[in-house]
Structure 1
Amino acid sequence: MLQQIPNAPLYDKNPTGGPQFRNWTDLLCAFNDQLTQGPVWLYNTPGQQGLIGFPFNALLVRYRNLTSPPCSGFSPVANRISNPAQTPKNWSMSTPAGLLAFHRPDVNAHLREILTAYGTFLSSPASAAVLNSNATGWLSPTALDALVSTACLPTIHTTSNSSDRESKTNTSDDPRPQFHDLFVSDPLHPTYGFSSWDAFFTRRFRPGIRPIASPSDDGVIVNACESTPVALERGVRLHDEFWVKGQPYSLMTILGALQTNAEEESGDDLDKKRDEKEKNEREQEKEKELEQAMRFEGGTIYQGFLGALSYHRWHASVSGVAEKVRKIQGTYFAGCPGLASRKDLHDGEERKLDPSAPDRSQRYLCQVGTRALVYIRARDRRLGTVVFVAVGMAEVSSCEVTVREGDVVEKGEEMGMFHYGGSTHCLIFEPGVRLKFRDAVEEVEGKRRGHNLPVNGYLAELLSE
């Protein structure tokens, strides 16, 4: 896939003449070096802002100013882009070989091993080295200001009867809070009290910062994640061609009706022979998964995106019982094949590969990415069962679920978290459940993503019959 990137100025611009990855050996060496380094704070250009906290993804999109050769102490710090107009391009993932490689089960199995090892490092005390006040540290004034700004975007105070549900928690007359005012932390400690990078990334809001909207009204649905709206679709099909440019939702694929739990857990053993009893059990499990997916045919899906600077814990959108919890292993760096190419003119030259295809593949990733499903049988019977889908994008491969099947969950209660990086999530509702979403969600299609909607804030409510 690296060799399929055209060797032309449009695809291979390098203002400083630095080397480019053109073979797997150099790329894997850089991966190996990254396994013992935490993600540093680089937020100087739009390209860096899109990849903050994603060092492996940054390697794959080939930052242009690689100033240190691979396998010799490679560091993302060396990947600075001197010209803001020179943003990283995701050419390799859009090549024919790249599309095939990042969808292959064996490739993803190896990537899972790499990312698991990286996750282990990020949970270790050594990873806290990037939690400092230097220019590239996550506790630098610039970094803390960006984190606070993200958390202080417009949020919601509402009751189910209010007509205007959006207001700012911080007006011009309010004093601007500091990081430790918003998040559980100790500003007197060198690392603010965080024992590792992962502990910092999965930080908690202080009590009261994100109140639960209408806590006594089970007909009000709250936002499961601190996220910006991506899509709202009603009348979802049971099966659809989700790999095309429009990226329709396909319930059978999202909910794993075509993939059994046995397949998920066996990984590299998929080709091994199994006895007849195991085959029968697998077929029965597929039938159950299909029946469950059919319950949501014609229903509604809402999707939201979590940036790397956002709060990354999940909370229950409704009160009820967790009737099913499931994890599905999937892809990590795959993009939608329908978005891989785009013929247009860029600086007078025809562009055939779309560098932004992975970023625009979020609906598609709900169906192929590594994900966790939590089915909640709502206490309000009019809601039926609501499915929360947590999708780990790129190297965000760890979707940790903290509730178990049979647990009673209250609206706003924590259910799990993502570990490092940006992510996406969905809420799936049964057909016949009539919902009115807040305006920012109802109007999301065809528009750029706006501000974060606060976790536990008003998202939607049941319409009376």
Structure 2
Amino acid sequence: MSRHSATLTEHFRKGGWLPASQEVLEAWLQGIVEEVRPRKGTRSETVLLPVVQDFKDFIEADGTMYMGFHQMFEGTKPPYVTDYETLVLLLNKIIQEAPFYGDIGPPIYMIIHQAMNTQGGFTTFLSSKLNEHFKKMFDVWADFLSSPASRHVLHDKPRGWLNTQAIKAMEEYFEPGLGFADIFVCDPKAPHYGFTSWDHFFNRSFRPNIRTLELPDNPNIVNGACESKLYNVAHNVNDFDQFWIKGEAYSLSHMLNHDSEYAHQFVGGTVFQGFLEVTGYHRWHSPATGVIDKIVEVPGTYFAQSPALLGEEDNPFLRSLAFITATTTRTLVFIESDNRSIGLMCFIAIGMTEVSTCEVTVRAGQRINKGDQLGMFHFGGSSHVLLFRPETRIQFFDGYNAEGDHIKVRAAIAGVE
């Protein structure tokens, strides 16, 4: 399946991963860079949050990091970020705010995407020590986004997440006539619709009659795990493969964190990968009835894209979603289905850029039914994979087998023989 179509790019844009246009992006960048840079004639310096100061100190103390953070900005011109000092100031600002609704993608991705698309950026963003510092900053941001102070963007004015345009986007894939309050648990009469924080809003729950489980009594049906768009379906996947070259191969051993016992069982199997929308529903639900066999949290990268796409202009990171299954921060949930025709399968929650916080709400050994909640992403949309063994003879239904198809959570998306 090709992942390079203009249609898929538009799905990324509509899903909140891309700016509305190049002009919109450049205007936003110019404004935010001017906001954080010291004004001429002033001597005052921005006081950095301790976690951001630590990040800056790390760059300057480590020769490899210092070199990499210079190389990634070589040749970059305004309004884009042109140096690591400005990047630090922008990070300091962003992690003290909640993102506004609008025509800009995830803010840190927007300020760093050009640096990601260089050899210097690629090499630098692979560093485990650097990614530990990113995680520390994102943990601080997570604390803010879980606090009442983050509700400053939950309003119905322009750029607010409860304005008419935003509400319409969040209602789009549901039955005509159903409003936001009919779909999601909230109180439109309360301040901020009753949401206690930005994260509470982003992890809003469905009302009981929304996205009910399709064909619940048929054990040969596999149901959608995430409200998402289909990115790719791959068959006959290998234990080890060159996931960093064009063609977007999946490498099971790397995806499953070098767990040879488990990876071996999926060699020759099937990968079904989708991506969530920023305006979408962010909780995960079990595709099958059975027992949670094992849960693994895998630390990884945040801003490394496929090296095969370095220097390309057509949204190279978003064309790297197969690559990041082997490299990025992710969580593995292995499920042993009661149905032998499904058997052991794996749900993989995959972080994308700064949107990489995965919370599992089940435990190993727990029995679950199809449609039960497995966990959720925090602070935005992301990607996910359903992984099946070669013995699982699975057939995806029409409407769930072409790039860009909208996957309804708990919908009957496939059958097994």
**Category of TM-score, reference length = shorter chain:** 0.7 to 0.9
Cα distance in 2, alignment partners of residues 197 and 4 from structure 1:
32
Q: Counterpart of 1:232 in structure 2: which amino acid?
A: V
The DSSP-based 3-state class of the residue aligned with 1:377 is strand
8 Å contact from structure 1 (residues 180, 187) kept in 2: yes
Counterpart for residue 351 of structure 2: 392
Alpha-carbon distance, 1:35 to partner: 1.8
Shift of 1:443: 3.7
Unmatched runs of 5 consecutive residues or more in structure 1: 61-89, 153-168, 171-175, 258-288, 343-353
Deviations 1:380-438 (A, max 9, x none): 11211010000011111210000000000100000100001220000111112111101
Name the residue aligned to 1:458.
412
Task: Pick the structure with greater CA Rg.
Answer: 1
Contact 2:244 2:308 in 1 (8 A): yes
Partner of 1:316: 286
CA distance in 2, matches of 1:20, 1:391: 28
Cα deviation, residue 2, structure 1: 5.9
Provide TM-score, normalisation by structure 2. 0.81
Using the alignment, how far apart are the partners of 1:243 and 1:335 within structure 2?
9
- Once the two structures are TM-superposed, the CA of residue 442 in structure 1 deviates from its matched residue by 3.2
Q: In the TM superposition, what is the alpha-carbon distance from 1:23 to its structure 2 partner?
A: 1.2
2:203 is the counterpart of 1:223: no
**Distance in 2 of aligned mates of 1:441 and 1:237:** 23
Task: Choose the corresponding residue for 1:417, options 365, 371, 376.
Answer: 376
Separation (CA, whole Å) in 2 of partners of 1:316 and 1:454: 13
Q: Which amino acid aligns with 2:416?
A: L
User: Which of 378, 381, 385 is equivalent to 2:340?
Assistant: 381
Aligned counterparts, 1:110-129, within 5 A: 110-129=133-152
Shift of 1:237: 0.4
- State the shift of 1:440 in Å: 3.2
The amino acid of 2:120's aligned partner reads A
**Structure 2 residue 387 is matched with structure 1 residue 428:** yes
Per-residue deviation, 1:3: 5.2
Q: Does 1:408 align with 2:367?
A: yes
Mapping for residues 15-54 of structure 1, pairs under 5 Å: 19-43=79-103, 48=104, 51=105, 54=106
CA gap 1:144/1:443 in 2 versus in 1, 3 angstroms = closer
- The one of 144, 161, 168 equivalent to 1:145 is 168
Letter in 1 for 2:376: M
Instruction: Name 2:126's counterpart in structure 1.
Output: 103
Aligned-pair distance for 1:439?
A: 2.1
Distance of 2:125 and 2:359 partners within structure 1: 23
Distance of aligned partners of 1:229 and 1:106 in 2 relative to their CA distance in 1, 3 Å threshold: same
Kept after mapping to 1: 8 A contact 2:292/2:334: yes
Measure the CA separation in 2 of the matches of 1:186 and 1:425.
Answer: 30
Cα displacement (A) at 1:143: 1.3
Q: Within the alignment, does 1:356 sit opposite 2:315 as a pair?
A: yes
The answer to whether the 8 A contact 2:230-2:401 is kept is: no
Say yes or no: does 1:56 pair with 2:108.
yes
Q: Following the alignment from structure 2 to structure 1, what is the Cα–Cα distance between the partners of residues 85 and 72?
A: 16
Mapped partners of 1:103, 1:407: distance in 2 = 35
Q: Secondary structure at the match of 2:407?
A: coil
| Unmatched runs of 5 consecutive residues or more in structure 2 | 1-68
RMSD of aligned Cα (Å): 1.5
Determine if the alignment matches structure 1 residue 293 to structure 2 residue 316.
no
The alpha-carbon deviation at position 5 of structure 1 amounts to 5.0
Q: Distance in 1 between matches of 2:234 and 2:80?
A: 41
Q: Does the 8 Å CA contact 2:330/2:350 hold for their aligned counterparts?
A: yes
SS at match of 2:193: coil
**Preserved CA contact (<8 Å) 1:2 1:21:** no
Cα drift, residue 341 of structure 1: 3.0
Assess, with a 3 A threshold, how the Cα gap between structure 1 residues 20 and 382 changes in structure 2: closer, same or farther.
closer
Output the CA distance in 2 between the equivalents of 1:102 and 1:382: 41
Q: Is 1:325 matched with 2:295?
A: yes
Contact map agreement 1:3 1:22 (CA 8 A) in 2: no
The one-character-per-residue Cα deviations of 1:251-290 (angstroms, maximum 9, x if unpaired) are: 0000001xxxxxxxxxxxxxxxxxxxxxxxxxxxxxxx21
Query: Aligned pair count?
Result: 349
* 2:256 alignment partner AA: L
TM-score (norm 1): 0.73
1:133 to partner: Cα distance? 1.4
Superposition pairs of residues 135-174 of structure 1, within 5 angstroms: 135-149=158-172, 151-152=173-174, 169-170=175-176
SS where residue 129 of structure 1 aligns?
A: helix
Q: What amino acid sits opposite 1:56 in the alignment?
A: I
Task: State the AA in 1 paired with 2:108.
Answer: F
Partner Cα separation in structure 1 for residue 229 and residue 80 of structure 2:
34
Equivalent position amino acid for 1:442 in 2: N
- Structure 2 equivalent of residue 249 of structure 1: 250
Identity of aligned residues (%): 37
Separation (CA, whole Å) in 2 of partners of 1:25 and 1:418: 30
**Mapped partners of 1:305, 1:401: distance in 2:** 18
Give, as a single letter, the amino acid of the residue that structure 2 aligns with 1:300: T
Partners of 1:402 and 1:147 in 2: CA distance: 24
Q: Secondary structure at the match of 1:118?
A: helix
The one-letter code sitting in structure 2 at the alignment partner of 1:59 is: I
**SS at structure 1 position matched to 2:130:** helix
The one-letter amino acid paired with 1:327 is: E
Alpha-carbon distance in structure 1 between the residues aligned to 2:82 and 2:402: 43
CA contact 1:322–1:377 (8 Å) conserved in 2? yes
Corresponding letter in the other structure for 1:378: S
